[in-house]
Amino acid sequence: MPIVMRMALGAMALTALLGLLAAAAPPSGRNPAPHSRLVASTSPGGPQSDERYDTLFETRVRPLLVERCGACHGAQQARGGLRLDSADVLARGGGRGPAIVPGQPDKSLLVQAIRYDGALKMPPNGRLTPAEVAAVADWVRRGAHWPAMQARATASGPAGIAMAPATASTPLFWSFQPVKPQAPPHTKASAWVKSPVDAFILAALEAKGLTPAAKADRRTLIRRATFDLTGLPPTPEEVDAFLADRSPNAWAKVVDRLLASPRYGERWGRHWLDVARYADSADSRGLGGEGDISEAWRYRDWVIDAFNRDMPYNQFVTNQIAGDLLPPDDKMSGTIATSLLAIGNWGNGDADKDKILTDIADDQVDIVSRGFMGITIGCARCHDHKFDPITTKDYYGLAGIFFSTHILPKLTPKGAGETPLRVPLETAADRQRRADYTARLALLDKQVTTDRAEALKSYARSMLPETAKYLTAAWEVGRLPRGQGTTLAQFAAARGLRPYALRQWRDYLSNNDYRLMASTFEKPMGVEGVYGYHGPADLPSLTVNTNAEAKTILTFTLPPRSVCVHPGPVSGAAVGWRSPFTGAVEITGGVVDADPACGNGIEWMLDRRGRNGPESLALGAFENGGSQEFAKGKGGGSLSRIEIREGDSIEILVLPKGEYSCDTTLVNLTIREVGGTRTWSLAQDVLADARRVNPHADRYGNADTWRFYDMADSKRAAGAAALDPLLAAWRAAVGPLDARPDSPAGARTAVDRAAAEFQAKFALDDSRSPFWITRPEDEDVLPATVRERLSHEAAELDALRKSAPPPVIYANGAQEGGVPESPHAGFHDVRIHIRGSYARLGDLVPRRFPVVLAGDIQPPITQGSGRLELAKWIASDTHPLTARVMVNRIWQHHFGQGIVRTPSNFGKLGERPTNQPLLDYLATEFVHSGWSIKHMHRAIMLSATYQQSSVAPAKSLLVDPDNRLFGHMSRMRLEAEALRDNLLAVSGKLDVTMGGPAYRDFKTPRRTLYYMTVRSDRSGFGPLFDAADPTATMDHRTNSNVAPQALFLMNDPFAIAETKLIAQRLTAAAPDDPARIAAAYRLLYGRIPLPAEAKLGLAFLQRMRARPQEKTVAMGKEASGTLAWEAYTQILMCANEFLYVD
């Protein structure tokens, strides 16, 4: 029963600890340091602080004693008379005497026993790790302090420590107490007070003998409000309009206008996305794919829309926790909202699947508790929370809810990555409509296919009497000397034959059952110098990397200057070389698996294809990551001399061995003319002229030498090279003639006879027939009526296709029940994971909410996961934290700091509110307004507090240097998004298209929040300017000031391009420098330049124009006004005024 015991101990220790901490915390003065770097060290060997001391005990010693010793030395059983479950019984010891001598580990029996160095070796079933032994010894050396014992002693009353008794009457920590409605306090300078907010602020200031800052001027105000609510600068026209508006509600009108702008939701949605650890892609390369959160952007758009619609915040909360369970009319958006739970950051692809499930639940507990309630429950995953009254029971009560929820459709096999759930978003009616449509489409499609097949069949049948004619013609075409200029089309025309049929008969005769890769591509994924070929499907393909370095595309890597094939999952790819001469060749080379990380190895075959079809020269196979030379394959010994005739081919077939996804095979093939000087190297010939279409010429001027084949549907791979008996007979008949190309007339008769025999037996009228039309462009041979009917049907089908219902959309959302087919499938409570380990399970905890917030008596969760209940509880009007946490976040983004300066931590380690009455007033107001966020913006922005100048009264700077009392406005730096958006706005290039999948090209002039965020990529613009790190929830951005930021503004191509656009705008706006400078200040800063500023500008422009500009001259540009203006604009754009808002 160690678990029960541990819990009992935990609860005792905790209550006592809490009391201690509460007593130790100053009433309102200095709060715990928000950042502590190297904590001042105590003198070596000196006593440790209680906290440090207890941490060691609670995290390392107590769990050990419970887990490894408790079963035999606990309350239930005390072997050897020893109990190890409290300090006094421990000190008393057992049959062998005291177990410990505080301060002297070497003399302590307990330590000796666990060191295994005496007669007594404990635990008997396996020794502790050295680190564990060290922890216990360390604890004993420091005096074996047992927090629970001390707490009990303290509670009984030693002097000097004010200790609240651990009873029900203990006042709860401020944030766990209900929100108390507050009346605005009385103030002296009441004329300043414009709103209740002001009364709270002024009262706090007056209590310290302070006065508010002066009111900011109108230009400052509109700039502040516009950035604040939309993340964009006001236009000069908007500034002028506000300056001109003398009506008493001019300011309120500005606020309302901005709140109504769609840009508002983008700005404030982004603030929430910081909390939501939003990313567009979890994949390390941002390429999407199955394992990625490719639908995350729908959640981003949902958030933006929620802000723009002013969705009541309680609905905003419930949707994100349990939107999929809300009434059906809301279902669509609700499921998208639950993406909050699905887009978390946990170790995808771990072989340890139990770990993945616990990590996912942990991520969800964390985001819900910190995001909505501002409490850190995550600590209680491993132990009772050290500072807040949250127990492991509370944690696993909540975790049970998330273990009964799934965001993965299933668990994949070991080592494979998990695929996030994609929840289809459609109503039953939609589903029915789609099913009907699909059925109709299938029907028509089938009819069209059948009719066409019937027409082609009938045509192929009608051509059968022509068989002999085509056969002989095809045979002759094959024997035409190369390079004499007669094309197949000319030949057909001369004989009155259909070119398509002649071509197909020729191919039929050569038994060429591979398809040429007819499509070409270049720069796949934007990679320069890479070219390729593929057939009807994307794979198989052949890729040529002409670069001197390796290039990585998607998942595969192309070695430098190489030709690689990439077979399909089941079908192979082949490279053929057609011999331009008759003689003998030596074949060398081999194949290399260029991508050992993927695939299951390959098989290869080297064939010679003569007129009798293919025959194998050599073949081989190897495992993933291997390579093989042709000479080492089966039959490879003969490759030094292979007889060949003109027109014959050497073909290397690369075939998937097992599964061949994301693999790359480097092909080296060199063919040397035996007794001659010519050498053909695949890489050399193809790299020399990679853009050439397939077939590819060689460097001796022979067209058609290299051919790249798609082997889909080929029988060769299966080894079924057996020839059609009919063809075999034909070959046998004409074969000997081949030896005598200048055959006499008699031979000709033999050919005709063989052809007639062939025709007599040839009756194919299906797609195997060479008369079967395979290309739409050849269908013009069909009778006009047939063509008309087919084209009419095709048009009908096309029209039906175009009327397709919109594609099903999916969300990366959450659904009820644990991961199907996993140990957590369905709904159930979970056991405590001792020290966070799923391998050590403790008591089963009913699904419920933290006791300190929801009380001891909670209605049991009996149906479903409990997510809906959780959502409703968090979003209830009386929840002590939810409204407080959100109004604080709103306040934080208006003033730079929250009233509580740790916005996601309202617990003991968080900061206390600097003005709790104000916080509670706002929270009450928030709930009363129907949880309207826009109402809160108005309540804040219409106050005199918000309209203060950023210049503080001198006394405030001394008394309240951190502006905790909000006695002036804090200057704010534009965040990464606002900085880039500001550039785009003033350059006039901003494209305000909303929503949709993230864009990847940084040059795209859309708002920055739509720019791709890749979780594992911390390079680039966002991280440079402190954008939210999407790997974890973030409540406050850092504000770094580093040189690479300056380098970006000085030299980055994007910054320079924007500078040029702004400069163009300015030079076009006014005729001369002084007027342009005025325009620049108006556009960039919303004001008129000071004379000193204008003077600096004019002088700079003059100097720039006079300066010899080496670089620009070299670029052939005149160092004229353009460059000077660009350089000047750049200064203004780099200046503090551009980046900071007062």
Partner 1 sequence: MKQTDPRHNRAPLPVSRREMLQICGGGFGMLGLTGLLADQARAATNANPLAVRSPQFPARAKRVIFLFMSGGPSHVDTFDPKPRLTAESGKPLPFAKPSLERTKTGNLLGTPFKFNRHGQSGIEVSELFPHVGDCVDDICIIRSMVADNINHNGACLQMNTGEQAFSRPSLGSWLTYGLGTENQNLPGFVVISPAQPAQGAPLWSSSFLPAAFQGTLVNDLKNPIANLHNPELDLSAQRDQLDVLKQLNQIHAEQRQQDSQLNGRIAAFELAFRMQTQASEAFDVESESDATKRLYGLDEKPTETFGRQCLMARRLVERGVRFVQVYHTQTVKRASCQLWDQHGGLRTELPANCAATDLPIAGLIKDLKGRGLLEDTLVVWGGEFGRTPTAENADGREHHPFGFTMWMAGGGVKGGQAYGATDEFGWHSTVNPVHVHDLHATILHLMGIDHTKLTFLYGGRNYRLTDVYGSIVKDLIA
Stretches 507-515, 842-850, 1069-1077, 1094-1102: which one binds partner 1 (CB under 8 A)? 1094-1102
Asked whether position 1106 contacts partner 1 by CB under 8 A, the answer is no
Residues 6+ apart with CB under 8 A from 455: 782, 786, 789, 790
**Residue 964 CB, nearest approach to partner 1 (Å):** 11
- Is 597 or 1075 the residue whose CB approaches partner 1 more closely? 597
Of 948, 834, 664, give the one whose Cα is nearest residue 71: 834
Phi then psi for 526, rounded to 5 degrees?
80, 10
- Under the binding rule (CB under 8 A), the answer on residue 1136 touching partner 1 is yes
Which residues, in sequence order, are CB contacts of 519 under 8 Å at separation 6+?
Answer: 533, 534, 535, 536
Handedness of CA 343, 347, 349, 353 (dihedral sign): negative
- Contacting partner 1 within 563-622 (CB under 8 A): 594-597
Burial call 121-141: b when 16+ CB within 10 Å, e when fewer: ebbeeebbeeebbbbbbbbbb
Q: Where in 799-828 is the site for partner 1 (CB under 8 A)? A: none
User: Binder to partner 1 among 127, 141, 355, 434 (CB under 8 A)?
Assistant: 355
Q: Which is nearer to partner 1, 775 or 1111 (CB)?
A: 1111
Q: Supply the minimum distance, in Å, between the C-beta of residue 847 and partner 1.
A: 23
The stretch near partner 1 (CB under 8 A) out of 243-251, 347-355, 642-650, 788-796 is 347-355
**Window contacting partner 1 (CB under 8 A); options: 139-147, 246-254, 306-314, 376-384:** 376-384
From 66-74, 301-309, 371-379, 935-943, give the range in contact with partner 1 by CB under 8 A. Answer: 371-379
Q: How do strand 530-534 and strand 519-522 relate by DSSP bridges? A: antiparallel
* Contact with partner 1 (CB under 8 A) among 624, 743, 876, 929: 624
Instruction: Examine residue 785 and tell whether it contacts partner 1 (CB under 8 A).
Output: no
- Residue 522 is a binding residue for partner 1 (CB under 8 A): no
* Residue of 352, 436, 796, 798 that binds partner 1 (CB under 8 A): 352
Q: Please give the Cα distance from 469 to 467 (Å, whole number).
A: 5
The SS3 of residue 627 is strand
- Residue 433 Cα to chain centre, angstroms: 33
Q: How many CB atoms lie within 10 A of CB 219?
A: 17
Strand partners, 522: 531
Distance CA 729, CA 735 (A): 10
Residues 401-420 close enough to bind partner 1 by CB under 8 A: 414-415
Cα distance between residue 114 and residue 118, in whole Å: 9
Residue 976 CB, nearest approach to partner 1 (Å) = 10
Which residue, 904 or 924, has its beta carbon nearer to partner 1? 904
Buried b (16+ CB within 10 A) or exposed e, 1066-1075: bbeeeeebee
When asked if residue 133 is in the footprint of partner 1 (CB under 8 A), the reply is no
- Closer to partner 1 by Cβ: residue 917 or 953: 953
Report how far residue 776's alpha carbon sits from residue 791's, in angstroms, rounded to the nearest whole number. Answer: 11
Name the minimum Å distance from CB 560 to partner 1. Answer: 9
The 379-398 contact track toward partner 1, x by CB under 8 A, reads: x-------xx----------
Residue 695 binds partner 1, judged by CB under 8 A: no
With respect to partner 1, which residue has the nearer C-beta, 95 or 415? 415
- Least distance to partner 1, CB of residue 553, Å: 12
Verify binding: residue 1045, partner 1, rule CB under 8 A: yes
Q: Identify the DSSP state of 58.
A: I
Q: What is the DSSP letter of 947?
A: T
| Torsion sign across C-alpha atoms 355, 361, 366, 367 | positive
| Cross-strand bridge partners of residue 655 | 603
**Residue of 333, 397, 391 whose CA lies nearest to 365:** 397
Q: Please choose, out of 154-162, 190-198, 759-767, 1111-1119, the segment that lies near partner 1 by the rule CB under 8 A.
A: 1111-1119
Residues contacting 185, CB < 8 A, separation 6+: 199, 200, 203, 917
49, 77, 129, 449: which one binds partner 1 (CB under 8 A): 129
Using CB under 8 A, which residues numbered 1112 to 1131 contact partner 1?
A: 1112, 1115, 1117, 1123, 1126-1127, 1130-1131
User: Nearest approach, Cβ of 265 to partner 1 (angstroms)?
Assistant: 26
CB of 1131 to partner 1, least distance (A): 5
Binding map of partner 1 across residues 954-973, x = CB under 8 A, - = no contact: ---x----x--------x-x
Rg (CA), the chain: 39
φ, ψ for residue 918, nearest 5 deg: -65, -45
Distance (Å, whole) CA 339 – CA 323: 9
378 part of the interface to partner 1, by CB under 8 A: yes
CB atoms within 10 A of CB 767: 12
In terms of CB distance, is 610 or 1097 closer to partner 1?
Answer: 1097
CA distance from start to end of the chain: 62
* Rama region for 129: left / alpha / beta (φ>0; ψ in -120 to 50; rest): beta
Query: Which of 150-158, 568-576, 797-805, 1019-1027 is the region at the interface with partner 1 (rule: CB under 8 A)?
Result: 1019-1027
* C-alpha to C-alpha distances, 41 to 25, 44, 49, 589, 714, nearest whole angstrom: 21, 8, 11, 67, 75
User: Is residue 301 close enough to count as binding partner 1 by CB under 8 A?
Assistant: no
As a whole number of angstroms, the distance between CA 864 and CA 175 comes to 30
Smaller CB distance to partner 1: residue 706 or 1011? 1011
Sole window of 87-95, 635-643, 778-786, 1022-1030 interacting with partner 1 (rule: CB under 8 A): 1022-1030
**Does the footprint of partner 1 cover residue 1016 (CB under 8 A)?**
yes
1094 lies in the binding site for partner 1 (CB under 8 A): no
Based on the shown chain and the rule CB under 8 A, indicate whether residue 476 belongs to the binding site for partner 1: no
Q: Binding of partner 1 at residue 1000 (CB under 8 A)?
A: no
* 117 conformational bin, left if phi > 0, alpha if psi -120 to 50, beta if neither: alpha
- Under the binding rule (CB under 8 A), the answer on residue 1137 touching partner 1 is yes
789/1060 with CB nearer partner 1: 1060
Q: How many CA atoms lie within 13 A of 1024 on its CB side?
A: 14
Stretch that binds partner 1, among 288-296, 311-319, 456-464, 1087-1095 (CB under 8 A): 1087-1095
Choose between 700 and 1140: whose C-beta lies nearer to partner 1: 1140
Which residues in 870-909 contact partner 1 (CB under 8 A)? 902, 904-905, 907, 909
Give the residue, chosen from 1024, 1064, 1069, 1087, that forms a contact with partner 1 under the rule CB under 8 A. Answer: 1024
| Alpha-carbon gap, residue 1039 to 1018, rounded angstroms | 16
> What token pair was written down for 297?
């952007």
Count residues near partner 1 (CB under 8 A).
122
| Subset of residues 266 to 295 that bind partner 1, contact rule: CB under 8 A | 284-285
Figure out which of the listed residues 187, 195, 345, 915 binds partner 1, where binding follows CB under 8 A: 345
The footprint of partner 1 on residues 31-60 (CB under 8 A) is: 32-41, 52, 55, 59-60
Burial of 1037 (C-beta count, 10 Å sphere; 0-12/13-18/19+)? middle
Whether cis (ω within 30° of 0) applies to the bond prior to 614 is no
Site membership for partner 1, residue 1041 (CB under 8 A): yes
If one asks whether residue 370 binds partner 1 (CB under 8 A), the answer comes out as yes
From 262, 349, 637, 805, residue interacting with partner 1 (rule: CB under 8 A): 349
Chain positions 54 to 113 lying near partner 1, rule: CB under 8 A, are: 55, 59-60
